[in-house]
Structure 1
Amino acid sequence: MQDINPIDNFVYSYSDEIFDGQGGAKFSNGQILFARITPCLENRKIAQVKLGEGGTGFGSTEFFVFDEKEEVSDINYLLYLLKTDYVINHAIGSMVGASGRQRADWQYFKNIKIPLPPLHLQRQIAAVLGRYDSLLENYQVQIATLQALAHEVYREWFVRGRGLGVIVGVEKELPVGWRKGKLREVLDFYIGGGWGQDEPDDAHTVGGHVVRGTDIPNLKKGQVNLDVYRYHKASNMASRELRAGDIVFEVSGGSTDQGLGRNVLITDEALAKFGDKVMPASFCKLIRADQVKISPYYLQQLLDHLLETQEMAQFEVQSTGISNFQFEDFIDYQPVIIPAMEAMNRFDKLVGPMYKKIGILSTQMATLRATRDALLPRLLSGQLAVEALETAEI
């Protein structure tokens, strides 16, 4: 379920595992996964599988799996249809079961009446909307390339030591101006996040968005989640309001295949998209670098490297079924290299524009999604003739 991103129409993330025959939805390339359980359904976890030619897979038992019916329906048209408010709201209305574990009822769901134009028109509608998704995929690739490039520059310069013409490593002699240290000495400030409450009252007067651990992967791509807006005490917001250059670091939660330590650098572009105050959630921490001693870009890439190499995994502990990160021990005992500021400034000049470009691309993607989603109900209802758009430029 965690591999489905509600804002994407396709599944881009998956792992290779052996199916043991013990349950789980089975599917083939091109079929559609539809989350049937709360809150995943309300969060619109619906996506088409892209596994390559002949690809097969399996996943959560909480998926409905949809396919086209020969000479009746087109799978790409069905994808857009299933993501409409009309279908989703009917599915939510069909939910049965205990509170917090409710699921859409298949017997009700399969009898929902849907608009089904002739097959050729379904394909035309899907083709028009698919042009937007093709462009969105192209932007996704550009963003992923920029992220990978920024991290490769970090590894080349500060792990392998080739880009700067120096040899680096915790156990090796360092260049002049570089030193071995601990994270605590380069942090200006850090604090746990907050959660506030749904509605304002006399104590909770300041509204603001909240960044959760689950929001971090999208936020790294410049995509902000505006759905989590809560009310906080003024003092809590004052000490936790995110600024450009801050890092949100996940310290609680996790899963068997997702360790703690996911993090994201907050940029001016991201703050502009939030358009209001924003703080980390209570399962996260705000980390603020001492920019006289360390670059925020370098610090964020360092944290990603420690997560990627599982060096920070030693600071995770299990408690009552949930993982918690020993943050104080981490910043006291994790050895790190602190390069000379001149080296970090050179790094900033190279990777800073990459972060900015990611923000620009994500803004363009948001505009494309909004346009596509505005067209969707008009095309499906016949209010807008598909012929009027087939030759239009995006």
Structure 2
Amino acid sequence: MGEAKHILFKEFIVLQRGFDLPKKKMSGGPYPVVGSTSILGYHNEYKVEPPGVITGRSGSLGFVQYVSERYWPHNTALWVRDFKGNLPRYVYYYLQTLDLNRFNSGAGVPTLNRNDLDTLEVAIPPIPIQHKIAAILSAYDDLIENSTRRMRILEETAQMIYQDWFVNFRFPGHESVRMVESELGLIPEGWMVKRVDDVSTLHRGKSYRSADLVDEGGLPFLNLKCIDRGGGFRYDGIKRFRGEFKDSQTAKPGDIIIAVTDMTQERRLVAHAARVPDISERVAVMSMDLVRVDSNENIPTEYLYGMFRFSDFSDAVKQHANGVNVLHLNPERIGEFKFILATEDLTARYATICTDLYQLCDTLHIKNNDCRRTRDLLLPRLISGEIDVENLDIDTEVPA
């Protein structure tokens, strides 16, 4: 490979601390406020032109983000102020290989001091090699992003149909159905008002010790980190568990799980539901931060999931969670929630549509996992020069 230059980190890039912006002052404008691991919110002002590379400064270290739009780097993050002529996309990949956690200088809260990095010696290849490395790795990231976008569209389709049919009552044939009074207001004739515990049973997950979690072997362990903020499943939250458990403390692909704990006061996890995807194993163990919902009657799981995700369920039930530092929700509050149950033929039609949508989501996720696995194997070997790309004929038309 083209000979790499051995230079100090401060000669490679310049990191700068982000800018303070309390959550209450974020105006909700078009520009993302980027924190140590994710977008924290949106604002009507920006601080930095793209492209941007950000990593965690306080709280969470080691996670690196690439930003392709104008943004506001939050003070919990460090952003690259000067790329010193290096390709930003290459810098993004390079930082992922540095194990930034090892530079933690905080006594309590993990903190990355950029001054500790400045004297680190790094080996940086010529710009043409940077372009080739970035092009190879970006190809995998583009595939992952495209599949992720398709999965998002599929779930939005399920949401749109649910809300059109079961919230706005514009279901097929609605023109000929009379509206009647109910305790929840006007509903189509033949529909019923039910409580969640009228039609389903809740099963609480397992209390566990850190010693029960393993790096390899055991079974998948579903926990609070498997619930995305606002609902939906986070694949990267899955851990591994080895120990005793009951059948009632497990979940299988297609099951509904709901968070009954929340570490934030924003209530963006508690009372939010997720569908367990195809995780390539028949069963997973749940933590006690979750409950599994089993339908007791001839009500499709896909319909119940739509109700939990796309109705006012979460907004209503999460208000019952309480606690000083950690919010806890009594599962009985889930059971008490009243919702409108449509006719059997209509719920079955919705379930048929959603079954196909979610199966395609699972297929796309498996493809994404394969892409991530290959990319993560290539990343350190490309950055270190173990794989020589100098003589490879590669299209290097990738974003800076």
Same-fold call, TM cutoff 0.5: yes
1:284 equivalent in alignment to 2:284: no
Partner of 2:26: none
CA, structure 1 residues 223+316, in 2 after alignment: closer, same or farther (shift >3 Å)? closer
1:83 equivalent in alignment to 2:96: yes
Contact 1:207/1:277, CA 8 A, preserved across alignment: no
1:306 equivalent in alignment to 2:311: yes
1:328 equivalent in alignment to 2:343: no
Amino acid at match of 1:182: R
Could you state the TM-score of these two structures normalised by the residue count of structure 2? 0.78
2-side partners of 1:209 and 1:342: how far apart? 35
What secondary structure, in the 3-state scheme, does the structure 2 residue paired with 1:143 have? Answer: helix
Please point out which of 180, 190, 204 is paired with 1:192.
Answer: 204
What secondary structure, in the 3-state scheme, does the structure 1 residue paired with 2:352 have? Answer: helix
CA, structure 1 residues 301+152, in 2 after alignment: closer, same or farther (shift >3 Å)? same
> How far 1:222 sits from its partner (Å)?
6.7
Amino acid at match of 1:215: C
2-side partners of 1:281 and 1:373: how far apart? 28
1:265 equivalent in alignment to 2:283: no
Please point out which of 155, 165, 180 is paired with 1:157.
Answer: 165
Partner of 1:49: 67
Deviations along 1:256-301, whole A, 9 cap, x unmatched?
444322211124x23x2xx3742222222122122x3321111111
Could you state the TM-score of these two structures normalised by the residue count of structure 1? 0.79
Contact 1:298/1:347, CA 8 A, preserved across alignment: yes
The Cα RMSD (Å) is 3.2
> How far 1:217 sits from its partner (Å)?
2.6
Contact 1:195/1:230, CA 8 A, preserved across alignment: no
> How far 1:118 sits from its partner (Å)?
1.1
Contact 1:180/1:336, CA 8 A, preserved across alignment: yes
Deviations along 1:159-198, whole A, 9 cap, x unmatched?
111132236783114332x2111111011x2122224224
Amino acid at match of 2:168: R
Please point out which of 240, 261, 276 is paired with 2:249.
Answer: 240
2-side partners of 1:137 and 1:225: how far apart? 15
> How far 1:312 sits from its partner (Å)?
2.8
2-side partners of 1:121 and 1:37: how far apart? 32
CA, structure 1 residues 226+253, in 2 after alignment: closer, same or farther (shift >3 Å)? closer
Greater Cα shift, 347-356 or 281-290: 281-290
1-side partners of 2:308 and 2:202: how far apart? 15
Amino acid at match of 1:174: P
1-side partners of 2:360 and 2:172: how far apart? 24
CA, structure 1 residues 96+220, in 2 after alignment: closer, same or farther (shift >3 Å)? same
Partner of 1:252: 261
CA, structure 1 residues 3+62, in 2 after alignment: closer, same or farther (shift >3 Å)? closer
1:29 equivalent in alignment to 2:55: no
Q: How does 1:1-394 map to 2 (within 5 A)?
A: 13-17=39-43, 27-37=48-58, 40-41=60-61, 44-50=62-68, 52=69, 55-59=70-74, 61-71=75-85, 73-84=86-97, 87-88=98-99, 91-99=100-108, 101-166=109-174, 170-176=184-190, 178-187=191-200, 189-199=201-211, 207-217=218-228, 224-225=235-236, 228-233=239-244, 236-259=245-268, 260-267=270-277, 269-270=278-279, 272=280, 275=281, 277-290=283-296, 292-306=297-311, 310-317=315-322, 319-332=323-336, 334-386=337-389, 387-388=391-392, 390=394
Amino acid at match of 2:327: S
2-side partners of 1:364 and 1:237: how far apart? 32
Contact 1:192/1:284, CA 8 A, preserved across alignment: yes
What secondary structure, in the 3-state scheme, does the structure 2 residue paired with 1:32 have? Answer: strand
Deviations along 1:91-136, whole A, 9 cap, x unmatched?
322222325x232332222222222111222122112211221222
> How far 1:34 sits from its partner (Å)?
0.9
> How far 1:302 sits from its partner (Å)?
0.6
> How far 1:37 sits from its partner (Å)?
4.3
> How far 1:148 sits from its partner (Å)?
0.3
